[in-house]
Chain A
């Protein structure tokens, strides 16, 4: 008999940053494993984070696998467990089990142009790929990042995005313009179309609200991207993260195991129920 798959490891909160304020607040947490008990992960994978007494929540690991001192998570306050996260202080200890799910085939993308398209909290699941690509910059060709929020205050990772500009194209947008905003005003899919990245030797990676993903994929295809050049992540309500509780399936795939990463070529074969 191996490890107890339901028993979390423990991690201490070493850093908390308020990314986005307000009703749909986002905070970024850095967790450090306690003792020698930790795990490595690949881009796109998630972990089940526990607040004992409240429950667990499946959150994308937002730090690159190349970062070994901590694991980063950006969590939007949405319900019971995530609200409890937003009440944490540095030094608090939470549970963590993982890594779960599949990963972006980043190694296959060497030598290619990478186009990242994110919206809202959806920047976090693709952030590890961006960070890995930027760290191993020579392995990849052109890197562009399209990212937007409802208003300037809803843009997360603002400092990090600014840092990216020296080595990648960063195209920000807001749905609602506010005074002082210099960049694109409108939805992320529209920003994408206005810059019209080329599909040649390119991979597009997108994550965000379902309606944004739908239009982004539509637009990418109209720009000439093939279905196997488009990658996204899907999510569903999850409890076990082990493909057993029966809850997160889309057709025959349990998203916690076979996902969350899907190419559009694979995703369109699944029943449209997510």
Chain B
């Protein structure tokens, strides 16, 4: 289902989405972030580059309280699960790279062992995406990892900016529901509209972008270079912060900790928080043994997880080419360069074979 919406009527469409909590990108504190739209007062303009943080936070927040516990020694504890209420939320302005992040998170959280908390937040989450007309950012590389500036994957609606109006394309049944709420605000697209959209999409797709090269052979080439000394060399400037992974639309590592509020009786909560394979003690055993105790092994984990392991398990890269890790890295570690360099290094003998 395709329709045309006048740009000036975007606010009216949003106002018609009764029953939905609406979020849109806003420039606040000098960063672009998704903020709730309070219909009466806010005007949504969708003129953002991309948000600093991806929309994965909606389904997978930094802090998730699993349950509270209260226990007297010798007795059974009282556990109170705090599963969030499933709410209808729609996020406007989601870029195709971020849209593709959601199905990848779904593979992890909803297949084997469905994650109750993730599912509650995700099941009524809708993405109204915005195609990327403008030339890509310096570090965008969605095309080389199977995406595109006009990809619909993970989105419910794809909007294309045609200057004074948007072409709306319903991708899912939910997207169609959202569009139907606009009622008479929407018009049938004309031949001119479709032609314009086609031109805009073609221009977007043909904009030059940085690229991961020879992607079909990347998983095997990374596997062959597991022991390459390049990993330590490329990781040398790394400061082991969490920026690359926390800003990534598909990274999902987390920690679970008990935070106590009182000891007699024992009271507290079990809480999930974001964690990252880049922190030095992420894989540290209680014995002090750390399989990934060096910068190189941790860089290798991040890169291979995205470009090899996830591919071996699910047949797709876990990277959508949004470029946030490249732009955000305080010291310039660049995943595109890393993958290209390691994958093109001479093959090394695989160790571990008996």
Contact = CB atoms under 8 A, between A and B. Distances in A.
A–B direct touch, CB within 8 Å, in complex?
A: yes
Interface of A: 1-8, 10, 12, 34, 52-56, 78-79, 82, 89, 91-93, 95, 210, 217, 221, 227, 235-237, 239-240, 242-249, 251-252, 257, 264, 268-274
Interface residues of B, number: 62
Contacts of B309: 249, 251-252
Nearest to B79: A7
B53 interface: no
A54 B263 CA distance: 11
Nearest to B297: A273
Most chain B CB atoms below 10 A, which of A55, A89, A221, A245 = A245
Contacts of B73: 92
Nearest first, the 3 A-B pairs at minimum CB distance are A246-B253, A79-B286, A272-B352
Contacts, number: 140
Interface string B64-75: 001101010111
8 contacts: A1-B120, A6-B67, A6-B116, A54-B258, A236-B285, A244-B254, A246-B251, A251-B312
Given A7-B66, A53-B260, A273-B292, A1 B119 contact: yes
B308 A252 contact: yes
A257 B313 CA distance: 13
Interface stretch (B4-12, B235-243, B276-284, B324-332): B276-284
B268 interface: yes
Nearest to A81: B286
Interface in B250-280: 251-258, 260, 263, 266, 268, 270, 272, 275, 277
B77 interface: yes
A77 to B, nearest CB: 10
B65 to A, nearest CB: 11
B354 A56 contact: no
A1 B283 contact: no
Given A52-B71, A78-B286, A252-B309, A244 B115 contact: yes
Given A6-B272, A217-B354, A247-B277, 9 more contacts: A2-B116, A53-B260, A54-B258, A78-B287, A82-B286, A240-B254, A242-B115, A243-B108, A273-B291
A245 B113 CA distance: 12
A155 B266 CA distance: 36
Contact of A91 (B74, B263, B284, B285): B74
B282 A247 contact: yes
Contact of A52 (B69, B226, B256): B69
Nearest to B117: A6
Given A52-B69, A53-B71, A239-B254, A10 B76 contact: yes
